[in-house]
Amino acid sequence: MKRVAAVDLGASSGRVMLSEVGADVLKLRELNRFWNGPVRVGGRLHWDVLHLYRSILEGLAVAGPIDSIGIDSWAVDYGLLDDAGRLLGNPVHYRDSRTDGVMERVLSTIPTTELYAVTGLQQLPFNTIYQLAAEKLPADAITLLMIPDLLAYWLTGEIGVERTNASTTQLYDVLARDWSDELIGRAGLPRPVFPALREPGEVIGSVLPDETGLAAGTPVIAVGSHDTASAVVAVPAVGERFAYISSGTWSLVGLELDAPVLTDDAREANFTNEGGVDGRTRFLRNVMGLWILQECQRVWGADLDDLLRAGADAPPFAVLIDPDAPEFLAPGNMPARIDEQCLRTGQEPPRNRGSAVRCILESLALAYRRTLRAAQTIADREVDVLHVIGGGSQNELLCQLTADACGVPVLAGPVEASALGNVLVQARALGEPFPDLSAMRALVRSTHSPRRYDPQGKPADWDAAESRVFGTR
């Protein structure tokens, strides 16, 4: 039995979890949960990374004796270090407007076809390559670290970038499984700022007591440091005929494959090929996720349970939106933006909050349906079951709507999938008997039973709704 700590940072909250892991044991206990979100300073959105680091230390300080620590977080964002290892400013938030119009500028010099052939990555305006192109790199920047690697550096003093997060930068060669020197050069970036890559399960280094206040010598282990890579490890699946939605602020909808799919069809459908644990490929698309509902809740100052009850009681298919429309990306008045899109597409805006919630969740279910069907066609993979993992698996209305829309059973849970995948990779690195992902998933199944939602309603209603939404682009 191993006692390990998982640091799991999502785009709206972070947590430090303590786990006991063994051949037939997988327990999690929350040590510290804390807010995470954008801070606007001087007209720019930043991450409060020092708040995150302090909160991590506070959680680890009460963990007691542990065998190791692993860190995962969201993707694409980074910190820059100077030659003394000092952070050059708080990392900028991917929702900041500095990348407006940058993608088009970069693609005028590196065509989409060439970029996709190397990286296999979905075109998103906040991908790391576009963030780096948005501003001239500071002259004193000598090292780029993704967010989990920056935090691991502060804990251990060791520099490197874990592979699953590197694969989200659009500067990573998905076939060579290394940084793309060609793309880095064509983007006008200095190659030396990109450190050596690490594998999930590799020991990064030991905790520095003088810097952290923690006990010396505890190893920090690289996990699937993109939180979705860790979450997919904890999908309680049997066999390969499954799809997943890692559901939270974002929804990542896709398949686990043995190799990337770099076809024209995959590129034109804007699918991404991101690195997974044990060399797997996460073939998926980003869907906007619960961000829209979270922002509405913030604007309304309302209780989430009350909103979901109102949404369940609202008439179906009254109002529908495209949740991936660019106007929903930045923080702001989401109810007003929903109204604006409805008016633009010839619909009457939601009449009340319940109708707005129903609109958001049905629209998300439609986006999931469209993405799942495209993934199956492009990858030539049939799916028998859809696993919904992460915080969104607790949203019963969304899970049922997803089963109805996609026409396959939904198995919801575990909620803390990223933390579970994090600790399983650590435990294997420490010698626990998990030879492959199947063994890890079997342990998740035996200790965290998912909730099943079977499809209901009429498929023809969803066909008509999908035509309404995606015919208005």
CATH 3.30.420.40 residue window(s) in the chain: 2-225, 235-413+435-473
| Phi/psi of residue 89, nearest 5 degrees | 90, 155
Contact 455, 45 (CB under 8 A): no
b/e sequence 135-147, b meaning 16+ C-beta within 10 Å: eebeeebbbbbbb
Q: What local confidence, expressed as pLDDT, does residue 473 receive?
A: 41
> What is the rounded distance in angstroms from the CA atom of residue 85 to the CA atom of residue 141?
10
> What is the rounded distance in angstroms from the CA atom of residue 82 to the CA atom of residue 147?
16
pLDDT digits (tens, 9 = 90+) for 419-454: 999 999 999 999 999 999 999 999 999 999 999 999
CATH number for 2-225: choose from 1.10.287.130, 3.30.420.40, 3.30.565.10, 3.40.50.720.
Answer: 3.30.420.40
- The hierarchical CATH code for the domain 235-413+435-473 is 3.30.420.40
Contacts by 40-43, CB closer than 8 A, 24 or more apart: 41/90
Q: What local confidence, expressed as pLDDT, does residue 3 receive?
A: 97
Q: What local confidence, expressed as pLDDT, does residue 328 receive?
A: 97
Q: Which of 48, 67, 96, 227 is catalytic?
A: 227
pLDDT digits (tens, 9 = 90+) for 351-371: 999 999 999 999 999 999 999
What mean pLDDT value characterizes the chain? 96
> Which whole number is the average pLDDT over 377-388?
97
Residue 190, number of CB atoms within 10 A of its CB? 12
Judge whether 461 counts as a catalytic residue: no
Going by C-alpha positions, the residue among 81, 222, 91 that lies closest to residue 163 is: 222
- pLDDT of 214 over the 70 cut: yes
> Which whole number is the average pLDDT over 148-159?
98
> What is the rounded distance in angstroms from the CA atom of residue 74 to the CA atom of residue 56?
15
At 152, the amino acid letter reads A
DSSP for 413-431, please give it.
Answer: --TTHHHHHHHHHHHHHTT
In the block, tokens 């008997």 appear at 433
> What is the rounded distance in angstroms from the CA atom of residue 185 to the CA atom of residue 183?
5
Q: What local confidence, expressed as pLDDT, does residue 147 receive?
A: 98
Give the helix/strand (H/E) hosting 353: helix 353-379
In the block, tokens 């680091």 appear at 53
> What is the rounded distance in angstroms from the CA atom of residue 174 to the CA atom of residue 260?
7
pLDDT digits (tens, 9 = 90+) for 115-135: 999 999 999 999 999 999 999
Going by C-alpha positions, the residue among 281, 278, 241, 272 that lies closest to residue 421 is: 278
* DSSP bridge partners of 92: 46
**Confidence label for 381 from pLDDT (cuts 50, 70 and 90):** very high
Q: Which residues contact 101 (CB under 8 A, 6 or more apart)?
A: none
**Confidence label for 211 from pLDDT (cuts 50, 70 and 90):** confident
Contact 141, 188 (CB under 8 A): no
